[in-house]
Structure 1
Amino acid sequence: MRARLTLLVGATATLILLAFAIPMAILLKNSAAQEAIASAEQEGQLLTPIVSTGDVGRVENVVQTYNASGAYPVTVFWPDGTVTGEQVPRSNAVELAARGQSFTAETAGGREILYGIGLADGSAVVRIYVSDDQLTAGVGRSWLLLGAIAVALLAFGLLLASRFARLLLVPLNDLAAVSHRLAGGDLDARADASGPAELRNVGTALNTLAEQIKELLEGERERVADLSHRLRTPLTVLRLETEALRDRAERETIEQAVGEVERAVNAAIEDARNPAEAGTCDAAAVVAERVEFWSALAEDTARECRVRLAPGPLPVSLSAAELAAAMDSLLANVFAHTPDGTAFEVRLTPRYEGGATVDVADEGPGLPNLAVFNRGASEGGSTGLGLDIARRAADASGGRLVFGQGTGGVGALIRLELG
């Protein structure tokens, strides 16, 4: 943008300078020519009274003096055909001047200034010759000076344009940098309100927006933490009720489930208070651990759980807690939307470009509307938050969440691609 502004100013300045320089150059040329002609005319006017006397000898002496010391050659054509001064042929302009006229005529290599002087025996003609070099004497030097001034003015204009563009673009670059920092999650980034009034207004508006975003996120985190904290009371009651159960196996199963819920609640509070940075984990270990947990519920609901997990380690760009939450959401989706006894399968394979792919396929009724699921919504009265958790996990790792049909077109397939 700086180069474009400088180029724009340079083009504008060039047009303005040309608009003044070209007429000025023509004016200088015409002025030099007029000055030379005026000087020659003055010389002719001094000779005219002497020639009018008809004294050839006196005229010859004066003309010789002029030609010896003057800048412009002088010729006098007498009525009898004799020529005094520089010997040149009689041109048509001389013949016309012999009729008693005085004028300036163009000739080869310059101009001739002619004065017709009436004598007793006819008309004499005084011819003063001004060459093209004399007509343009000093014009080249004047044009060179004019060009130097124009170039200096253009350079000065470009320098000012570059400085102005720099002063304009520095605040713009700062605003862009602050915007990128905000987009990257640095909510403490603020712009300096500097530069022109318009840029200061933009900087102030950006800072106001950053403050509002920060306040909204902090308020949201507080609400999530408060809601999660409120769940601890019913969890405590549930744990106490579980301890009162006499069946040991049933008590251990429920205690394990309550422990998982409590772990999820604590993780939600911690994440709301202190948002976790991007991490890594071994997908093979996390997926195996979550499948083992859900396999107990699969046995209780008479579901066949087939597991095909690639050997680890399979590092992915996601923390263990986030991957565990994503797996829980996908497996819970199977139990929530398929009838008891429906078989399902969990597959874990490495990706060619790095990361891993987790497939959760079931043999249930399938997804009723793939288009809706691909937009992240849900049907059948579900909140759709489970799939959103899995989608956010995929996005955070640089992967994606894909929906489809199971093997042979039966059931549903949800693929979690992790980077």
Structure 2
Amino acid sequence: MRRRITLLVAATTSVVLLAFLLPASALVARVAEARALDAGRVQLQLLVPTVGLDAREEVVAGPLALSDGRRLAVRWSDGTWLGTVGVLGDDPAPAGAEQRETDEGTYLLQPVRREGGTAVLEVFVPAAELRAGVPGTRSVLAGLGLALLLLALLVADRVARSLTRPVTELATTAHRLSGGDLSARVTPSGPADVREVGAAVNRLAGRIGELLADEREAAADLAHRLRTPLTALRLDVEALPAADRERLAADVDALGRGVDEVIAEARRPVREGLGAGCDAAAVVAERVLFWAVLAEEERRPLTVDVPEGPFPVRVAGADLRAAVDAVLGNVFAHTPEGIGLHVAVRLREGGGAVVTVRDDGPGLPVAAVARGRSGSGSTGLGLDIARRTAEGSGGALRLASASGGTQVTLEFGAPPA
């Protein structure tokens, strides 16, 4: 915006200066020419009485070469020339004062009627005298125009800076808010419209903070309310026979862990948002090391291709761990023991990372692969968590299955600069 304002002022000032300087330059040329021609005409008028009185000797005795390169010539009434033969030559005398222009300069002709005929006075004004002082004056005008243009640009830059500074501060605050810093606020300044936008952004930031706080409180209250029936359910399970008690106790424990995760998520002080980030290589290597124990127990060949990072992605570390665990857990849950497993991480074109998990199993049913999402928000294969995490970072999840195995590709976007 600042650059556009400066360019607009530069264009406007240039047009105004051209509208002033071009006519001024032409006027300077016309004034110089008129001054030189007027000097020649004065010289002619001074000689008219002398020629009219037939004072031929005085004309011959007078100077025929004037100042500034002008020349004087007189054709007497008998056709003889005093001085250099002029441009008129032997042509008839003009009826009145006349001006003839050539490449060398301008000739001023003045006829003088006498008893013996008509004499002609001729003054030659060279082209250099007609343009005397014009280049210097035009240089002064050009310098003045350039100085005015620079002054206008300087003033425009100062004014544009005062106008754009509040907008820049407003954009900076908006970026901080999008990055998860809900404490960012704008100091309203500048024009009235910009101040109004700044105040609106401040109100929006406050409202977002209130909504997030209400959301966290509601989720925490709901999770705590589940604790009581969950405890009663655990007590009822303890009273069951041993055959059913172990199976149901495991389910109750899994439900309890889910409730604990909801409470932990609700107690996050600030949502990471666009500012979340972690090293994908480090997180994937950590989770592969965790699952490697189970892979060894089930005699699954495990191939890992995780180069040294960092591979920064726009995902919180806890969310990326949950996504990787969901994909790896899906392999262990839906493929027979002994099936090989391949995990790889590479850079994503344009920034971010790509995590690939491939198994050597029989492949998923075609309907399961095509389904991708269900109306309930789950794929039915434990991949919905991974999909939502990838899409939330600006990436995607791709699932490919064939008789030779299933490959899950997670693309994660790069964190903001």
What corresponds to 1:407 in structure 2?
Answer: 403
Q: 1:52 to 1:343 in 2, by over 3 A?
A: same
1:100–1:118 contact (8 Å) kept in structure 2: no
Q: Does 1:176 align with 2:180?
A: no
Give the deviation of 1:89 after TM superposition. Answer: 0.8
What corresponds to 2:367 in structure 1?
Answer: 368
The worse-fitting range, judged by mean Cα deviation, of 143-152 and 196-205 is: 196-205
Q: Aligned partners of 1:325 and 1:243: how far apart in 2?
A: 33
2:181 partner SS? coil
What corresponds to 1:251 in structure 2?
Answer: 245
What corresponds to 2:73 in structure 1?
Answer: 75
Q: Does 1:266 align with 2:260?
A: yes
Q: Aligned partners of 1:23 and 1:324: how far apart in 2?
A: 77
Give the deviation of 1:278 after TM superposition. Answer: 5.1
Give the deviation of 1:129 after TM superposition. Answer: 2.0
Give the deviation of 1:361 after TM superposition. Answer: 9.0
Q: Does 1:391 align with 2:387?
A: yes
What corresponds to 1:159 in structure 2?
Answer: 154
Give the deviation of 1:360 after TM superposition. Answer: 7.7
Deviation digits for residues 357-391 of structure 1, max 9, x if unmatched? 44589879836364541xxx315x66669643222
Q: CA RMSD in A?
A: 4.2
Letter of the structure 1 residue corresponding to residue 54 of structure 2: G
What corresponds to 2:415 in structure 1?
Answer: none
1:284–1:348 contact (8 Å) kept in structure 2: no
Deviation digits for residues 306-356 of structure 1, max 9, x if unmatched? 855458999998646863576469868998xx9xxx968886533152886
Q: Aligned partners of 2:200 and 2:74: how far apart in 1?
A: 88
Task: Pick the structure with greater CA Rg.
Answer: 1
The worse-fitting range, judged by mean Cα deviation, of 399-408 and 262-271 is: 399-408
Alignment counterpart, residue 102 of structure 1, candidates 83, 86, 97: 97
Q: Aligned partners of 2:48 and 2:305: how far apart in 1?
A: 119
Q: Aligned partners of 2:100 and 2:363: how far apart in 1?
A: 111
Letter of the structure 2 residue corresponding to residue 368 of structure 1: A
What corresponds to 1:88 in structure 2?
Answer: 84
What corresponds to 1:25 in structure 2?
Answer: 25
Identical residues among aligned pairs (%): 35
Q: 1:31 to 1:372 in 2, by over 3 A?
A: farther
Q: Aligned partners of 2:110 and 2:90: how far apart in 1?
A: 9
Q: Does 1:41 align with 2:41?
A: yes
Letter of the structure 1 residue corresponding to residue 88 of structure 2: N
2:108 partner SS? strand
1:353 partner SS? strand
Give the deviation of 1:291 after TM superposition. Answer: 8.9
1:399–1:418 contact (8 Å) kept in structure 2: yes
What corresponds to 1:351 in structure 2?
Answer: 344
Q: Aligned partners of 1:77 and 1:365: how far apart in 2?
A: 119
Q: 1:190 to 1:349 in 2, by over 3 A?
A: farther
